[in-house]
Amino acid sequence: MPRQLSAMIESFPLARAFNISRGAKTTADVVTCTITENGVSGRGECVPYKRYGETVEGVLKAIEAYAAAISAGATRQDLQSAMKPGAARNAIDCALWDIESKLSGRPAAMTACRILPRPVPTAVTVSLGDPSDMADEARAHASQKLLKVKVGTSDDRARIHAVASAARDAEIILDANEGWDESNIREHLLLAAELHISLIEQPMPAGKDEILAHIPHPVPICADESVHTLADLEALADRYDAINIKLDKTGGLTEALEMRDRARELGFGVMIGCMVGTSLAMAPAVLLAQDADWVDLDGPLLLARDRSPGLSYSGSLVSPPSPQLWG
């Protein structure tokens, strides 16, 4: 019997509103792809992102349109050329990884990882708000070793000071989500250096980041919205020190693995990040993150309820997925 593909939209409430410079969200709206063969199912989850022109309805339609190709035996390699990078391809790619591992009895980690996968430390996110509220949230995560702090306003000085003071023992990443500009970037970079911030993520809007090639980087700068796929890397070498690889941007684990390796060859630091989704979306990224410099896979920790079984989080560590979840 040929493989069957199905997909559905699911919504998971967040434990609290999640705020970044572009707005707030209260639910994680995801699309889940399931591929079934001989009673065995593989799953993949994606998070359509409005910033990239995606909607859950459009992504669902794109996934379902590929059902005939899956029934005809399309492979992960076929998928790379048949669909453009993005959320829809990610869900199908990860579902193919999952069913391949389940049918073969060979865990996905044996293909994706160079070493036996282990728990990796992940950042925990402090969402954008008033400085005092952000400081309180940082203190609530006092046991975490790495905090990713959402900034991205015209003047983030008070926020940066407040969080750095409240989390003196934590490594801090500032994520500006394209919210800074030429009038304030130098000031924010210098303050970040003074307060020993470890990394600044996407300070300038994608496509308007030329200034980064012409100013000092007293703190390393990481591309997020400016980098999606393998093809983007070389053009960013003069502007960024690191890149954030997300499966919903690359279009799945298959390209993400190639992108990570090429980034290393070009001298970039590597962060493995995520959209706000469930453990099913994070599971393949945990394998990708095994040799990353920074890991930001706390999406399930932001939810009021996660899938069951989900990933195991303990303190700052997230463990590789169980076969019951994925891979």
Task: Residue 269: name the closest of 286, 294, 238, 236 by CA.
Answer: 294
| CA-to-CA separations, 126 to 1, 141, 149, 215, 237, in angstroms, rounded | 48, 9, 5, 28, 29
Q: Where are the domains of the chain?
A: 4-108, 112-318
Q: 266 pLDDT band (50/70/90 cuts)?
A: very high
pTM: 0.95
Q: 208 pLDDT band (50/70/90 cuts)?
A: very high
150-200: pLDDT as tens digits: 999 988 999 999 999 999 999 999 999 999 999 999 999 999 999 999 999
**106, amino acid identity:** R
Active-site hit among 61, 150, 208, 249: 150
Determine whether 150 is an active site residue: yes
221-237: pLDDT as tens digits: 999 999 999 999 999 99
Tell me what the mean pLDDT of segment 87-97 comes to: 98
Residues 276, 28 contacting (CB under 8 angstroms): yes
Active-site hit among 102, 148, 246, 249: 246
Of the two residues 315 and 164, the one the predictor is more confident about is: 164
Q: In DSSP terms, which residues pair with 269 in a beta bridge?
A: 242
Residues 87, 49 contacting (CB under 8 angstroms): yes
Tokens matching residue 16: 């609290």
- What share of the chain has pLDDT > 90, as a percent? 91
Task: Residue 258: name the closest of 277, 232, 282 by CA.
Answer: 232
What pLDDT score does 134 carry?
92
Angle, helices 87-104 vs 56-65, to 10°: value is 50
What pLDDT score does 315 carry?
85
Phi, psi of 10 (to 5 degrees): -130, 150
Tell me what the mean pLDDT of segment 84-111 comes to: 97
What pLDDT score does 21 carry?
63
What pLDDT score does 285 carry?
98
**Confidence check: pLDDT of 142 > 90:** no
What pLDDT score does 126 carry?
92
Q: How far, in Å, CA of 274 to CA of 248, rounded?
A: 8
- What share of the chain has pLDDT > 70, as a percent? 99
Length of the chain: 327
Which of the following CATH numbers is that of domain 4-108: 3.30.390.10, 3.40.190.80, 3.40.50.2000, 3.30.390.30?
3.30.390.10
Q: Which overall architecture, per CATH, does domain 112-318 show? A: Alpha-Beta Barrel (3.20)
| CA-to-CA separations, 229 to 82, 255, 256, in angstroms, rounded | 15, 7, 8
Mean pLDDT (the chain) is 95
Cβ neighbours around 74 below 10 Å, total: 19
Determine whether 50 is an active site residue: no
Tell me what the mean pLDDT of segment 128-137 comes to: 93
**Confidence check: pLDDT of 15 > 90:** no
